[in-house]
Amino acid sequence: ATNRTFTMIKPDAVQESHIGGILGMIEAGGFRIVELQKINLTAERAGQFYAVHAERPFYNDLVKYMSSGAIVAAVLEKDNAVADFRTLIGATNPANAEEGTIRKKYAKSIEANAVHGSDSDENAQIEADFFFGSK
């Protein structure tokens, strides 16, 4: 069945004018963009979004980074959306990302890794609601 995932284009990729390139790869990958918003996160909101990582050593830096500039939030629709999107973006650490993936092309480091992708259907719903509300 068609289902949905959630993505953010992160501040470094927005700052470096890769919104179009990344959305182009997403559409070429067969995803339909069903919600789209460019927005600045406060540190508080960024911290809420990544609350599951609150105990991780990289959390404070991540919150600072994610509130350092505009991000683009989107909801994407495709069969098998969550898994197929994680394939399209590649590994969290761009050093491990496959050729042809968004992170291979655009990510600069394990933190500034260009895009976020939900890791489960449940989190996709939670993350989409965080930006776009329940619909």
Active site amino acids: 116
Within 10 angstroms of residue 4's Cβ, the number of other Cβ atoms is: 20
Q: Which residues of 36-47 are buried (b: 16+ CB within 10 A; e: fewer)?
A: eeeeebeeebbb
The single residue among 62, 75, 76, 88 that binds ligand CMP, judged by CB under 6 A, is 62
Smallest gap from residue 27 Cβ to ligand CMP (A): 21
How many residues at the interface with ligand CMP, by CB under 6 A?
8
Minimum distance, C-beta of residue 41 to ligand CMP, in the bound complex (Å): 12
Residues 79-118 that bind ligand CMP (CB under 6 A): 92, 110-111, 113, 116
In the complex with ligand CMP, which residue's Cβ is closer, 11 or 23?
11
**CB closer to ligand CMP out of 35 and 111:** 111
* 103 appears as a binding residue in the annotation: yes
Give whichever of 1 and 25 is closer to ligand CMP, judged by the CB atom.
25
What b/e sequence results for 49-83 when a residue is b if at least 16 CB atoms lie within 10 Å of its CB, and e otherwise? bbeeeeeeeeeeebbebbbbeebbbbbbebeebbb
Work out the number of other CB atoms within 10 angstroms of the CB of residue 112: 17
Asked whether 45 and 107 are in contact (CB, 8 A), the reply is: no
Whether 86 has a binding-site annotation, put simply, is: yes
**Known binding site for ATP: residues?**
10, 58, 86, 92, 103, 113
**Binding residues vs ligand CMP (CB under 6 A):** 53, 58, 62, 92, 110-111, 113, 116
